[in-house]
Amino acid sequence: MSEFHIEIDFAQKHPTGQIVCGDVFISKLIKEDGRTILVLSDGVGHGVKANVLATMTATMALNYTALYKRPEAAARIIMDALPHNSEGIKTYATFTIIELESDGMVRIVNYDNPKSVITRIGEPYTPTTEYLLDIKGAENVGKVLRCREFRAMKEDRIVFMSDGITQSGMGNEKMRMGWGQENVEAFVVQQLARNSDLSARRLSKRVLNKAIQNDKFNLQDDASCGVIYFRDPREMLLVTGPPFFKAKDKDFSERIQDYEGIKIVCGGTTAEIIARELSIEIETEISLSNPYAIPKYAMKGFHLVTEGILTIGKIEELLESYDDEQTYGDSPAEEIVKQLMQHDRILVFVGTRINWAHHDPDQPIEMEIRKFVVKRIVKLLEEKYFKEVVIDFY
Q: Over the stretch 114-156, which tens digit does the pLDDT of each residue have?
A: 999 999 999 999 999 999 999 988 788 889 999 999 999 999 9
The per-residue pLDDT for 364 is 43
Quick one: CA torsion of 81, 84, 89, 94, rounded to 10 degrees? -50
Average pLDDT in the 166-185 region?
Answer: 91
Q: Which domains does the chain have, with CATH numbers?
A: 5-231 (3.60.40.10), 235-393 (no CATH)
Angstrom distance (rounded) from CA 175 to CA 169: 6
What's phi and psi for 172, nearest 5 deg? -70, 155
The per-residue pLDDT for 286 is 66
Name the least confident of 15-29, 132-146, 316-330. Answer: 316-330
Is 196 exposed, middle or buried, given 0-12, 13-18 or 19+ CB atoms closer than 10 A?
exposed
Q: How many CA atoms lie within 13 A of 328 on its CB side?
A: 19
Closest CA to 180 of 137, 202, 210: 210
- pLDDT for 290 beyond 80: no
Percentage of the chain modeled with pLDDT above 70: 92
Paired strand residues for 5: 231
Confidence of residue 292 (pLDDT cuts 50, 70, 90): low
- pLDDT for 235 beyond 80: yes
The per-residue pLDDT for 322 is 85
Average pLDDT in the 156-184 region?
Answer: 93
- pLDDT for 177 beyond 50: yes
> Mapped to the 3 state alphabet, what secondary structure does the chain carry?
CCCCEEEEEEEEECCCCCCCCCEEEEEEEEHHHCEEEEEEEEECCCHHHHHHHHHHHHHHHHHHHHCCCCHHHHHHHHHHHCCECCCCCECCEEEEEEEEECCCEEEEEEECCCCCEEEECCEECCCCEEEEEECCCHHHCCCEEEEEEEECCCCCEEEEECHHHHCCCCCECCECCCCCHHHHHHHHHHHHHHCCCCCHHHHHHHHHHHHHHHCCCCCCCCEEEEEEEEECCCEEEEEECCCCCHHHHHHHHHHHHHCCCEEEEECHHHHHHHHHHHCCCEEEECCCCCCCCCCEEEECCCCEEECCHHHHHHHHHHHHCCCCCCCCCCCHHHHHHHHHHHCCEEEEEECCCCCHHHCCCCCCHHHHCHHHHHHHHHHHHHHCCCCEEEEEEC
Quick one: how far is CA 383 from the chain centroid?
7
Longest dimension (CA), the chain: 78
The per-residue pLDDT for 288 is 58
